[in-house]
Amino acid sequence: MSSKENSFSLKFDTTWTYAEAPESTSHIELKKKYDLFIDGKFQTPASKKYFKTINPATEEVIAEVAEASEKDIDKAVKAATKALAPWQKLEGKERGKYLFRIARLIQERAREFAVIETLDGGKPIKEARDIDIPLAAAHFFYYAGWADKLKYAFPNANVEPIGVAAQIIPWNFPLLMAAWKIAPALACGNTVVLKPAETTPLTALKLAELIQESGLPEGVVNIVTGDGKAGAALVNHKDINKIAFTGSTQVGKLIQKAIAGTQIKSTLELGGKAANIILEDAPIDQAVEGVINGIFFNQGHVCCAGSRLFVQESIKEEVEQKLMARLQTLRVGDPLDKNTDVGAINSKQQLETIEKYLKIASDEGLESFQTDSKLPSSGYYCKPTLIFDVPQSSRISKEEIFGPVLAIQTFRTVDEVIEKANNTPYGLSAGVWTDKGSKAFNLSSQLKAGVVWANTYNKFDPTSPFGGFKESGFGREGGMHGLDAYLQIKR
Ligand code: NAP
Ligand code: MG
């Protein structure tokens, strides 16, 4: 099949613009069928099997994507192994040039990436456009800058790349997670085999096209698509040297078992159940906005989502009233509409999981609130939901729902809220809203979470390390700390 036959153009009206996107990308090129990106080329899978990726907002098939088997994974790991020595030998500044080039190409194609991200995963276009894609480019720019400065990052030490990095990412921030993984790995001289999530492979494959265009040496980045079986085959491959995984705590545990007793290094970014805490002296309107953003951003499919709200008792009523009023103004629906605040749930399976938790809440007799607005008739949607007076013992306050559902609890004293907030197996993030800097510092030092935001929430920057405590995983991505994960450091 010629590449022309194998592609089609989707036309969208250009009612929104993105400052960095050239006008020439006003149509989006998508193929009908995507192969595996191995050794710098798109290759058909050994099994000749393909799976469908759909648009969760409409349930329509967007494209067919190759299903990688053990054979393909082996081929990808071999390509990454072969590419390792010449890539490691390149001077840092030369490796950096490729990363800068990839960063610029992402910026040039930002509009196309944003539309594909929204089509494949269901997130509001304004989030893909303003957050996911610019941040993905920013990660490449940031780590491009480190490529020739590693010896300054680790003075008096010899640093070497770890080798072949197996990287497995989830569906909530597909391109951004690929950037978080690939950029530091390459800056440090490693080569990569990356597996995107089954429901959102398209922006990683678009990135593969762009990597090809950038002239990056063949085999330095390989992108293999498939489901959890492909991920497991990668984890169990004997020639990988490092695993970087972002996903559920459950799969994180499987990975730890699989590599126990081997020399394979790992970093795991897992689930979360973050506390977002409003003290009575906080600027309430600002805090309410932060809580809304904290839980409804990306439909709540966010590992660091502020899914447990702790409100000081004296302001409970005011905060709850304001949250309910704000829910009335949230626009839920077509993710491609630039005014949409809450898009589609990523998959049928995830919608069922969220609905299961809503049923648990009602079975437990908990009071909840949703607006009476209408949802689209096809596609996977869930109304933003507040659940009130959730006890510490409820599954709603203990388990990660990964959807637009906020569990509200109250507290009287700071000591009480610290104890309640830390009473979770997770420890990825937290938020504190207060007028007093001293209170923010006190809480942030006592909350067992990798990231604590004060008077803001869900702020990400490539210079800042991100990662968990406890069952939220270990290792840090982002910032200088993100380099450690891809280097052997000899002091
Ligand atoms: P998941 O089921 O753990 O999947 C994550 C990735 O692992 C996907 O690519 C998945 O493939 C693959 N996978 C599944 N089973 C595997 C196995 N046995 N061995 C190796 N790989 C396997 O998680 P998810 O449901 O997609 O994502 C949501 C979870 O990710 C949430 O718990 C969330 O908190 C967490 N998350 C954490 C962070 C963080 O930075 N800490 C960021 C985002 C998400 P398929 O998708 O094809 O099954
Ligand atoms: Mg999809």
Cα–Cα dist 454/447, whole Å:
12
28 — pLDDT class (breaks 50, 70, 90): confident
pTM: 0.94
Q: Which ligand is nearest to the CA of 227?
A: 1
Instruction: Say if residues 388 and 243 touch (Cβ distance below 8 Å).
Output: no
Q: How far is CA 331 from CA 192, 218, 384, in A?
A: 39, 45, 10
Smallest Cα–Cα separation from 181: which of 429, 484, 482? 482
User: In the predicted model, what is the mean pLDDT of residues 154-164?
Assistant: 95
Q: Write the single-letter amino acid at 386.
A: L
Cα–Cα dist 283/312, whole Å:
13
CA of 182 from ligand 2 middle (Å) equals 21
Q: Whose CA is nearest to atom 14 of ligand 1?
A: 228
Active site residue 303: yes
Q: Whose CA is nearest to atom 42 of ligand 1?
A: 303
CA of 247 from ligand 1 middle (Å) equals 3
Cα–Cα dist 20/491, whole Å:
43
Helices (H) and strands (E) in the chain, counts: 17, 22
User: In the predicted model, what is the mean pLDDT of residues 417-423?
Assistant: 98
Q: Which entry of 127, 188, 303, 320 is annotated as an active-site residue?
A: 303
Instruction: Say if residues 369 and 386 touch (Cβ distance below 8 Å).
Output: yes
Active site residue 304: no
Position 12 scores a pLDDT of 44
Extended beta strands in 299-436, E state: 308-312, 368-369, 385-387, 405-411, 429-433
Task: Mention every residue, 6+ apart, whose C-beta is less than 8 A from residue 232.
Answer: 254, 258
Helix (H, G, I), strand (E, B) or coil at 392: coil
pLDDT tens column, 220-269: 999 999 999 999 999 999 999 999 999 999 999 999 999 999 999 999 99
Cα–Cα dist 55/73, whole Å:
27
Task: Mention every residue, 6+ apart, whose C-beta is less than 8 A from residue 487.
Answer: 150, 154, 159, 160, 161, 162, 188
Structure tokens at 421: 């907030």
* Residues, Cβ < 5 Å to ion ligand 2: 53, 120, 199
Structure tokens at 278: 């409003």
Q: Which entry of 67, 117, 269, 320 is annotated as an active-site residue?
A: 269
Smallest Cα–Cα separation from 166: which of 45, 296, 79? 79
User: In the predicted model, what is the mean pLDDT of residues 376-391?
Assistant: 98
Does pLDDT of 180 surpass 90?
Answer: yes
Instruction: Say if residues 414 and 267 touch (Cβ distance below 8 Å).
Output: no
Structure tokens at 389: 């007076």
Q: Whose CA is nearest to atom 11 of ligand 1?
A: 228
